[in-house]
Amino acid sequence: MGAEENRYAFNSNTFDMDGVEIPFKDGQTIMDAALAAGIYIPHLCHHPGLTPHGSCKLCMVDIGNKCMSSCTTPAVAGQQVSNNTPVLNEARKTITQLLFIEGNHLCPSCEKTGNCTLQAMAYFLGMLDGHFPQFFQRREVDASHLTVMLDRDRCILCELCVRASREVDGKNVFAIAGRGVTAHLVVNSPSGKLADSDLETSDMAAHICPVGAILIKEHGYEIPIGRRTFDLHQVGEIGLEKVIQAKARHTNE
């Protein structure tokens, strides 16, 4: 037995990703183990601490020539995983393009621009255009709530707000309804309007949206260009969630 194999014999709870040995705890996903080891796997719908969702597919990695979502796949000792490869990053770019053309992502007029994780992902992957024909969908804007508004045109159905509301806020404000391309975010209130829900700006759900779909009213364009999250950071930095969440909260909400 060579030294190479020996290593696994001594420490069985590691897997190999792009040639780096990554330790994991039993039951941990590839995503969580990689993040804990300080290695970035592109992701949009994953958020540490929330139940994995597996909808964005940005986090797919190659495991023995099989493409798997690393946010939902448990790590297995000795696994060979590829993550940062040109082929995977090209596929991730295509997925990002699909997210852009499926909604109305007119960044020049979006309040989230510069602070948007989807946009930062597109920069990270070098996306120049949407490539596919635009859907130009029309989805309902809900501006009924006093302090929070919902622009469904930009929603990427990541369910972060759904999960944050259920799992952290202990409410159940959001859900996804509809099928296929008509799937959309709904509000669980009798009228279906945000105003009639118990959403508050102190909720995690009000701030977790990675795009400009859930916005806090009367707080537009407050951060100067050059100081926005992704003017200062790139999406691949580990532990950026804290920075993003801190920035999303306004002093006088």
Partner 1 sequence: MSKLRIATTSLAGCFGCHMSFLDMDERLVEFLEHVEFDRSPLNDIKNCGPCDIGLVEGGLCNGDNVHVLREFRANCRVLIAVGACAINGGVPAMRNHFDLSACLEESYLNGIGVENPQIPYDAELPLLLDKVHPIHEVVRVDYYLPGCPPSPEEFMSVLGDLLEGREPVLPKKLLHYD
Which residues, other chains included, contact 102 with Cβ-Cβ below 8 Å and sequence gap of 6+? Answer: 135, 137, 181
Residue 71 C-beta: closest distance to partner 1, Å: 25
Which letter does DSSP use for residue 75 in this model? P
Q: Interior CA angle at 160 toward 17 and 64, to 5°?
A: 20
Cβ nearer to partner 1, comparing 126 with 239: 126
Partner in contact with 214, chosen from ligand SF4, ligand FES, partner 1, none, beta carbon below 5 to 8 Å by kind: ligand SF4
Beta strands in the chain (DSSP E): 14-17, 20-23, 60-63, 66-69, 80-82, 141-142, 148-151, 174-177, 184-187, 214-216
Residue 50 is encoded by which pair of tokens?
A: 């929330």
Partner in contact with 148, chosen from ligand SF4, partner 1, ligand FES, none, beta carbon below 5 to 8 Å by kind: none
Partner in contact with 173, chosen from ligand FES, partner 1, ligand SF4, none, beta carbon below 5 to 8 Å by kind: none
Cα torsion for 89, 74, 236, 134, to the nearest 10°? 50
- 111-140 positions binding partner 1, by CB under 8 A: 113-114, 119, 122-124, 126, 128-131, 133-134, 136, 138
Alpha helices in 29-84 (DSSP H): 30-36
Judging by DSSP bridges, how do beta strands 184-187 and 20-23 pair with one another? unpaired
Partner in contact with 57, chosen from ligand SF4, partner 1, ligand FES, none, beta carbon below 5 to 8 Å by kind: ligand FES
Pick one of 30, 50, 59, 120: the residue that binds ligand FES (CB under 6 A).
Answer: 59
Stretch that binds partner 1, among 5-13, 108-116, 162-170, 199-207 (CB under 8 A): 108-116
Query: What's the CA gap between 236 and 39, in Å, rounded?
Result: 9
Stretch that binds ligand SF4, among 58-66, 131-139, 156-164, 238-246 (CB under 6 A): 156-164
Binding site for partner 1 (CB under 8 A): 100-101, 104-110, 113-114, 119, 122-124, 126, 128-131, 133-134, 136, 138
